[in-house]
Amino acid sequence: MIPIAVTIAGSDSGGGAGIQADLKTFSALGVYGASVIAALTAQNTKGVSGIHDVPPEFVTAQLDAVYSDLKVAATKIGMLSRPATIQAVAAGLKKFHAKNVVLDPVMVAASGDRLLVPEAVDTIKRELFPLADLITPNLAEAGVLLDQPVAENENQMAAQGEALLAIGAKAVLVKGGHAPTRHAVDLLIEPSGIRRFTAERVETRNTHGTGCTLSSAITAGLAKGLALHDAIAAAKNYITGALQAGVNLGIGAGRGPVHHFHQLWARLAKS
């Protein structure tokens, strides 16, 4: 039976991030994807021009429809812009005893546009941290969650990850992709210790949806039964390949997307 994963997030009309990136990633990695749309964005490779929040009661209706019918093996949570939406999602996860929950606390788009209201930050920490098996903040998001400056080195990344554990997270993957270093280093901080995941940095302008794609790739791995460390390692390899293959995609006038189906398209080109 094919594993099933659900993404609870915002829709990206440009197709490179959010719900669209998550579903592409699930499909590329052999997982059936379902979705709960929490917000609509008017968005392209150049930025976000508008956000329309889905009413919380309709978010609940989507959660009920999906989880009451499908055997969901893992759940990814992305952009949730308002406290009432966050509370609706938390209630649904508790109701259906969701497992393998990956929380990507999306706060700012790659273009720099802010994607949630300030009061939502505390609600995410209070309502969703206890329900998530892993949270995946980038450097800026970790700083916002802790009201601290952005980490500038691995020691500071580790310290912020440990601080997030202290306020309720079970495991934290601090993503260092935005750091100006030769290698893209992510640190997994757990109560049992710290593990380092590294990849050669890909020089490309096409990075739209990178964070969404990595977290949904981890979710796909968990849905397929991989242990957390193995799911992260596989996801890191996948996103590196998607970045490398996306260098020359040429989609849009701004920051283009990564190439979610790079493995499939390469096989098709050879057939």
Q: What is d(CA 21, CA 210) in angstroms, rounded to the nearest whole number?
A: 9
Residue 211 among the catalytic residues? yes
Per mean pLDDT, which range of 8-12, 80-84, 92-96, 116-120 is the poorest? 116-120
The CATH number of the domain holding residue 191 is 3.40.1190.20
Residue 25 among the catalytic residues? no
Residue 209 among the catalytic residues? yes
Q: How far is CA 204 from CA 18, 132, 141, 232, in A?
A: 20, 31, 22, 22
**The pLDDT value given to residue 180:** 67
For 230, the 3-state DSSP assignment is helix
- Give the pLDDT confidence of 67-91 residue by residue, as tens digits: 999 999 999 999 998 999 999 999 9
Catalytic residue among 15, 76, 176, 212: 212
pLDDT, greater one: 249 or 101: 101
Catalytic residue among 18, 78, 176, 211: 211
Residue 75 among the catalytic residues? no
Beta pairing class for 101-103 and 134-135: parallel
What single-letter DSSP state applies at residue 237?
Answer: H
The residues pairing with 12 across neighbouring beta strands, listed in sequence order, are 41
pLDDT(109) > 80: no
Residue 207 among the catalytic residues? yes
Catalytic residue among 210, 221, 224, 256: 210
Q: Is the dihedral angle over the CA atoms 209, 27, 234, 218 positive or is it negative? A: positive
Please state the pTM of the whole predicted model.
0.96
pLDDT(110) > 70: no
> In the chain, pLDDT over 70 holds for what percent of residues?
96
Catalytic residue among 175, 213, 236, 246: 175
Q: What is d(CA 124, CA 93) in angstroms, rounded to the nearest whole number?
A: 13
Structure tokens at 36: 């709960």
Query: Domain span at residue 66?
Result: 4-270
pLDDT(269) > 90: no
Strands in 101-103's sheet, in edge-to-edge order, are: 47-53, 32-44, 4-12, 74-77, 101-103, 134-135, 172-175, 183-190, 193-200
How many domains, in total, are found in the chain? 1
For the segment 117-129, the average pLDDT, to the nearest whole number, is: 91
Catalytic residue among 7, 60, 123, 207: 207
Q: Is the dihedral angle over the CA atoms 120, 126, 131, 134 positive or is it negative? A: positive
Catalytic residue among 209, 221, 246, 256: 209
